Structure 1
């Protein structure tokens, strides 16, 4: 049997590779996946179970329950002052990942180019390839540390460029794209007639006084922005597979047609759980930022006490990018050696671009005791390197 060129070109990510390798160890401390250990609020779980018990387990409209889309519309109006029509400008997807893929599939023709600034979420590149389009990675080794320059983005624009994907707050860097840079990207989009896909799934996890601004808030950008979000991080509902997209009506209409042929609709019990989560009657994610703030501080303090390693406290997300350059090892070598020596799993920074090869990403999605144990093991590993 012959496989398509696309199927053969897609490779499992190093994130998943290290996650799978970690399964060989019974005592592993696994910092690989962005899969929080905090359970959803009981009321959310009850809503999902109640839907199952009441027989709400069939199909919904391809775009998702209208009731859920109305709740999403109200949520954005209440939280961010953005006004999206539930019937025509919102679609519920099988996680944010399907939302991203359907967005790209709605826009791209073979040979079109999509600019992806590094560091970047690894699946962006392969989703573009799956659309028979060309990912253009903006990854300047002499550029901004764990960031990108708008000048490099503009230099990458050609007559084939159709989309720029941004992720703010960023997985893996934990940085928020500053307002000035957001405004500059918006100016580029308008100047060159480009669409911005803005992946904002981590804006629910912002620490301290850090400020976030969505590009869709800038004048003239609503009609050229596709905003992607999900309940996976905000409500710790990763396995429930509920995401959503807010975009101009013509994009949502195209995505809805594609959704019918890809997945029909998002899981119905999960949609009812999402209604409960987003309804506004209670703030079910209120404690999450406090929990992750404590974990972040423990992790940052612990790593910075280990010789040859350093990190900066992330502004958002639950990821830590740890600088390993003083060890003399590159990221994949370091990650595999760390796993074999002390059974701690991390993600090689090369996953997120060439400029990240002196880093490994660690997700603080484990409890404080496991983070402390992980730090001790990493210290042991670094000590062994010095012998």
Structure 2
């Protein structure tokens, strides 16, 4: 091929979580007994009424292009959901775009607000794809390291100290992947104060909104004083409704910004799949979210099992996640040189696949992420393998 400057894609690496999933599939194809706790995919089936609605749409011939913003009925349903559950007022005609995945929603939202050289504050640990998205768009991700000793708490001082004349936005995720933390009112107000003071856009990823434990309410930044009118909210159906393969999300924000965002949708994917949108309509029609609550109750049982099991292992400290379906235990007491080394050792010695915390930023270097979106049997077996192997391992970097 003709020599030239490297393509934009050369500036980023592969997704660590997708790469792990590929490796798991290769190992399983070779007959290796692998227990995969690295992925972020619900192991439940998509609710039957959602499947039925999509099948009916297919049989009815609803298989053609839709408006780029999404079918009007779905945007109206999303607007009603946003008002009811989040306190967000959104005009379905101008403020909402339905996208093929929440990941694409995050990407086009960023494309609508940043340009080359613009900086985006990224409190970390943070999901693995945020920084590469910013880089692909010519922006600069600015890591705002959160202290694990303080339970990864966000403060206005931390955010403000990272602001420069090039700062354009703050991107954050609650409930958080990978920590499982949920924004407190104090943290949400801190974000709002900094955004208002420096005139920043806020990008709020709320994909795990319904997967939370205990009584703490989910706080939507777009509904906070100081953030209204400057926040783009990303959400979707993959996690809460076990619809990962359906690839459907949405983004909502001020009409003036969404006029720019929709251009990216039009020139990349055009629109989300028509029949999938009809499945989402059925999902939102059940305002009680009974199927979601049933899944969350099962996740809660698994969460307790995994946290208790990990905390039995000497050298491991695991906090209770407040939302999502991940734990991020501190493994510094095991004596490995890095999270990467720990994860590699665990795969080799136990067949349990975890994600190195370093994939989510330097503040998680001494952590690994495990997903409890797996059956109780798999989690029980994984904990037994981990506990047996790690108790037998002599601590220290030189151990093998």
What range describes the TM-score normalised by the shorter chain of this pair? over 0.9
What is the CA distance between 1:78 and its match in structure 2? 2.3
Shift of the 349–281 alpha-carbon distance from structure 1 to 2, 3 Å rule, reads: closer
Aligned to 2:60: 54
What is the CA distance between 1:102 and its match in structure 2? 0.3
2-side partners of 1:337 and 1:320: how far apart? 19
1:318 aligns with 2:325: yes
1:238-387 pair list within 5 angstroms: 238-280=244-286, 283=289, 284-329=291-336, 330-386=338-394
1:40 aligns with 2:46: yes
What is the CA distance between 1:263 and its match in structure 2? 0.2
Which of 229, 233, 237 aligns to 2:235? It is 229
What is the CA distance between 1:184 and its match in structure 2? 1.3
Tell me the SS of whatever aligns to 1:166.
Answer: strand
**Contact 1:138–1:148 under 8 Å retained in 2:** no
What is the CA distance between 1:15 and its match in structure 2? 2.0
1-side partners of 2:146 and 2:312: how far apart? 30
**Contact 1:58–1:268 under 8 Å retained in 2:** yes
TM-score by length of structure 2 reads: 0.93
**Contact 2:65–2:274 under 8 Å retained in 1:** yes
What is the CA distance between 1:143 and its match in structure 2? 7.0
**Contact 1:22–1:339 under 8 Å retained in 2:** no
2-side partners of 1:217 and 1:141: how far apart? 27
What is the CA distance between 1:205 and its match in structure 2? 0.8
Aligned to 2:15: 13
Aligned to 2:214: 208
**Contact 2:238–2:244 under 8 Å retained in 1:** yes
**Contact 2:188–2:221 under 8 Å retained in 1:** yes
1-side partners of 2:298 and 2:147: how far apart? 35
2-side partners of 1:269 and 1:142: how far apart? 43
1:139-154 pair list within 5 angstroms: 139=145, 144-154=150-160
What is the CA distance between 1:204 and its match in structure 2? 0.6
Aligned to 2:125: 119
TM-score by length of structure 1 reads: 0.96
Q: Which runs of 5+ in 2 are unaligned?
A: none
Shift of the 282–206 alpha-carbon distance from structure 1 to 2, 3 Å rule, reads: closer
Aligned to 1:173: 179
| CA RMSD of superposed structures (Å) | 1.6
Q: Deviations over 1:348-381 (max 9, x none)?
A: 0011111111110000010100000110111122
**Contact 1:308–1:324 under 8 Å retained in 2:** yes
**Contact 2:94–2:258 under 8 Å retained in 1:** yes
Tell me the SS of whatever aligns to 1:64.
Answer: coil
Tell me the SS of whatever aligns to 1:37.
Answer: coil
**Contact 1:118–1:147 under 8 Å retained in 2:** no
1-side partners of 2:391 and 2:190: how far apart? 45
1-side partners of 2:287 and 2:141: how far apart? 42
Count of paired positions: 387
Tell me the SS of whatever aligns to 2:179.
Answer: coil
Q: Deviations over 1:92-122 (max 9, x none)?
A: 0111111110011111111111110111111
**Contact 2:96–2:251 under 8 Å retained in 1:** yes
2-side partners of 1:301 and 1:321: how far apart? 13
**Contact 1:115–1:153 under 8 Å retained in 2:** yes
2-side partners of 1:289 and 1:50: how far apart? 28
Tell me the SS of whatever aligns to 1:307.
Answer: coil
